[in-house]
Amino acid sequence: MNWLFVAAGAMAGAPLRFLTDRFVQARHDSVFPWGTFAVNVVGSLVLGLVTGAVAAGAGSSRLHLLVGTGLCGALTTYSTFSYETLRLAADGARWPAAANAAASVAAALGAVFAGVGLAHVLWA
């Protein structure tokens, strides 16, 4: 039965990722993959918030399956991040590729820690 929560979250997360990526990328005239960067950072923040809420007893394991695993799992995209970084490097944009790799990891980790911290402030 848990798989239904994951599937329901993913059904919302996948189109949200696509639409958000297109919306953000259309507003930037650069080779940097801002859309993928944005969904990965926002998804990490939401995952941290949900994980912190569940750890504090303010959310259920079903909430974690629905939002954490399903929505955030489909919203964020490591494979696209990897592919876009590879494409930048292969196209000769080595600095943007390196910046994408470093900034994406740093920002996503910062966002998940911020989400957990925010959950602690709100529910601990």
Residue 76 marked as a ligand binder:
yes
pLDDT per position as a tens digit, 30-42: 999 999 999 999 9
pLDDT of residue 124 exceeding 90: no
Q: What percent of the chain has pLDDT over 70?
A: 100
Mutual orientation of helices 78-90 and 34-55 as an angle, nearest 10°?
Answer: 150
pLDDT per position as a tens digit, 7-35: 999 999 999 999 999 999 999 999 999 99
Answer whether 14's CB lies under 8 Å from 82's CB: no
Answer whether 56's CB lies under 8 Å from 123's CB: yes
* Residue 30, amino acid: S
* Residue 97, amino acid: A
pTM: predicted TM-score of the whole model, two decimal places: 0.96
Answer whether 104's CB lies under 8 Å from 37's CB: yes
